[in-house]
Chains A and B, each alone.
Chain A
Amino acid sequence: MSESNVIDEHINSGYDAGFITDIEMQTFDPGLDENVIRKISAKKNEPEFMLQWRLDAYQQWLKMERPDWAHVKYPEIDFNSIAYYSSPKSQEDAPKSLDEVDPELLRTYEKLGIPLHEQATLAGVAVDMVFDSVSIITTFKEKLAESGVIFCSLSEAVIEHPELIKKYLGSVVPINDNFYSALNCAVFSDGSFVYIPKGVKCPMELSTYFRINEMNTGQFERTLIIADEGSYVSYLEGCTAPSRDENQLHGAVVELVALKGAQIKYSTVQNWYPGDVNGKGGIYNFVTKRGVCHTDAKISWTQVETGSAITWKYPSVILLGDNSVGEFYSVALARNAQQADTGTKMIHLGRNTRSTIISKGISAGKGSNTYRGLVNMSPKAEGARNFTQCDSLLIGDQCAAHTFPYIVSKNPSAIVEHEATTSKVSEDQLFLCQQRGIDPEKAVSMIVNGFCKSVFKELPMEFAVEAGKLLEVSLEGSVG
């Protein structure tokens, strides 16, 4: 089989998570105005401060312009054709335990490979399930509470922990940060909230699984993680959606706060529906993720992006405190007609701050993959260091790979190093594998996995395997 045939076969494979859950939903009519925002807020029984915050964001959003600088193309979005709230009817009274959750919903998660019963879950992983606009259930809450860790839906946190919300929500990504984050501030529905108390090492992995199910809805979730002084948490999010012909908007905001000496490890396996071979359907994934590191703190972003029709996200770290560390490890795959414009911003403000960026972009089919990053050494970033490595792998002659790194240095003692390369799966590599008896399908996925290895090793163990598999599934039909 010739190389191009092998690759064609790989990139035309299916999407496993594309089924639809048939369940009675309660969905707002499409459209966006102040009333809709009031209704969302009322649904969640939010305190007045939250409603005012949303309305303020809405007013600011109305004055903002849609950003057009990313290397992606898509038709104008009609924000009045989207429904901003959708939740399963059965969630009207928030279930207190798994036994009260609609079995159809549980089946959905089982089908996605996420068993929810605590005894059946991966050892040591607590999961928050977000289905369209609401959090279904959060597991291991009690166990976590024993060590003082708060892990719950954001809606719950607004009511139960208003002091933390008031202090930190919007503190890292301000309301008017950008067009999509402002929209999120106005209409965000649910998401996860994590607080790790001083000196606590979170006893298990925390995880949120996002599922979009309903048609014509947008998912605007919001995650806030606060790691108090000297604490540690590893958090992972996963996401999928049904295969539909319409594009759906996902506009999330994630804020991380790592206080003095704290460490947050945030991993994402993003597998939103990517659309079909011709680019029909798929999720528009327009996401703002940012963390702030205080003195001696560390934030590490790891992402495996295989889904979405369009990805527009730049998980960033503001290195505010001295000696703080920011890391960004990314694998982004763009196949079929997918477009990804992703990267990071490392803003070095403190002395001796360190950042590492490893980005692996894979373009196949008619996919277009862009790394866009900023490394900024401010005048006060005495002794700061950055190392960036961006590698692109091209598979097939119709794809595209771009690298746009912005480097700004205003401090002579700061050192920035950036390297980028572009390569393809070479015929020689393929031939060596074949000459050792390995068939071309397996060889390609082996080589691609090898290319991504330095990122996969940053994922929590269970998910590293999953990510590798996801990539294989995305690249080829079957894996031996």
Chain B
Amino acid sequence: MTREINQELAREFGLSAEEYARVLSIMGRTPSLTELGVFSVMWSEHCSYKSSRVWLKQLPTKQPWVIHGPGENAGVVDIGDGLAAIFKMESHNHPSFIEPYQGAATGVGGILRDVFTMGARPIANLNALRFGSPSNPVTKRIVDGVVRGIGGYGNCVGVPTVGGEINFHPAYDGNPLVNAMTVGIARKDRIFLSAAAGVGNPVVYVGSKTGRDGIHGATMASAEFAADSEEKRPTVQVGDPFTEKLLIEACLELMQTDAIVAIQDMGAAGLTSSSVEMAGKGNVGISLNLDMVPARETGMTAYEFMLSESQERMLMILRPDRQELARGIFEKWDLDFAVIGELTDTGRLTVWHGGKLEADIPLAPLNDQAPLYTRPTIEPPKREKLNPARIEDRIGLTGALRKLIACPDLCSRAWVWDQYDSTVGGQTVKRPGAADAAVVKLEGLSRGLALTTDCTPRYCLADPEMGGAQAVAEAWRNLTAVGARPLAITDNMNFGNPEKPEIMGQFAAAIRGMAAACDALAFPVVSGNVSLYNETERRAILPTPAIGGLGVLDDVTKAVGLALPPWLDLVLIGATAGWLGQSLWLREITGREDGAPPPVDFTIERANGDFVRTRILDGTVRACHDVSDGGVLIAVAEMAMASGTGCRLITHPRDVPGHAFWFGEDQARYLIAVPDGVALIRAADTAGVPAMRIGTSGGKDLTLPDGGTISVDELRGLHERFFPSWMAEGMDGET
């Protein structure tokens, strides 16, 4: 590339005229190509959070159990026994649209590295996936590739994929969301951070060799898609889970020693972001000699080395006297180990290649003068609350149940889960679908973690503030429903183009709702990721603030699942007004996507949840399921299908229309199965928690209050049909 370096090239690199002017003022001269590349990726939306930072600051990040909040590679919370859980969720949306298998696979690889770089052994993966309409011919190919990619990577590295969620909506047609979450465990006194220290200390590169793959991936993730996005395929990286597995083992082995001063993975913007961030956090300079970087291709330029997003690479600052010890460990695992530079006292990033100084950038202004935008916001008008009595039920309870239980958003995900190894490690107590949250035991201890991912994007579109609050509350509820004490969340903010005030308005409102929920539920944000520009041909996705929640069970044997045992009373906890606005019943049965979403009241949320958790932990509750998408009747059906046991439901209260009672999506509700419903309801009354017996379990049929009956076997047949039959139709999207 011998093009002149000017504003036009800067624009192609994603820098605005004003941002390029700032580069010129910092440098005091025209930057070299490599320098321009460094500025453009460090100041990209993906790396700098320039549109979102002002809002993210509103999120509560502190509680006594938080060890490290946002700002490190992942969040760290104290889980007792001297241990810490380290976790984060991150998006790989754009790559997964262009190349679904590798996009999803490297998404898993990237988030794993964020976690083990801090010293944690990864013990669980989860994901949050959103796809376009199943009737869009490309959706099937994307679903297939993403699922294979997640499985292909996670299964090989040997970290169980224990949970996740999937939604379909036409708004994701040209822009699927692939959000991957990893949870790891470390000793809380052995956590590794990324701030470089010690002038003269060696900068060490380990892992895979560097190639030309993924150059400018971070910039791609910071722009809208046009119809030519297929041409961006070379910017997608290729994953090597085998090398990742070796890297995990080698890093954890080295972390048993005192060799590491600082460590960070090379994620987005590769060598550039890792070196700039490590040196920047440590207020030191860093000098790199690219001749020492292990290369997979010949003739690579400094620009290509600095911008490559080749996978499975880490950068470390080592104690000089431990360098050979570290080299021995990486050589044992057949991984590259190269000293590629040293820390300096210049406060500058200097990059040498072939004896030539290719970049010389002062780090403080590169970091401190990164653009920060308070973009204009326009929030959507509040939608009208729908009156359930004025929405006619033309299909009846059984008809609606048959239709809803089979629809793509509610049908069985077994086809997906069956491709993810959920048991490797031997500690998976509740596998996907067995409970509202996945439950993983800590090896050798009685403690366990509960994990979930949640968001209801249609609520977020209708009312981003309430939708943001609901996503946090639902994560809290799902952890509670297995008996866990919710501790903290990671968030993955997926939105459209932030330069549009309507999109920025969604973002700001969602953050406000999330912040309120986090505060009220003592459920802070400890890590997160922002993915903007999720638009294709100017159509934005639904606002999707995906929440990854983590809770702890001191005694993991107390965890309950959702499988309904026979001969128990089924009790509904929480009040039911019959909220049909934005419900799946409204969408699937009447074709309407309107009304205000159900409101979340944090005081009620907490009271109901705390009551349920207490009753789970004292052994009263034998099965529990939160009431979410599809309402009470769907929750009952899911409990019945999980065990094969039926249920006889009794008449609903007269003041709520039947369809609204059974399919409304009022919040803060749980279904619990208990031996003595009367005693349970008495206890709930005392605690001021609404509780109502809605049926008795037993038999092989679900008997509805209107006299309709459907066998659990038939329900299962309907529930399990969609994915296998859809996939069996063949890949229409294949070209």
A binds B: no
B binding-site residues for A, Cβ under 8 Å: none
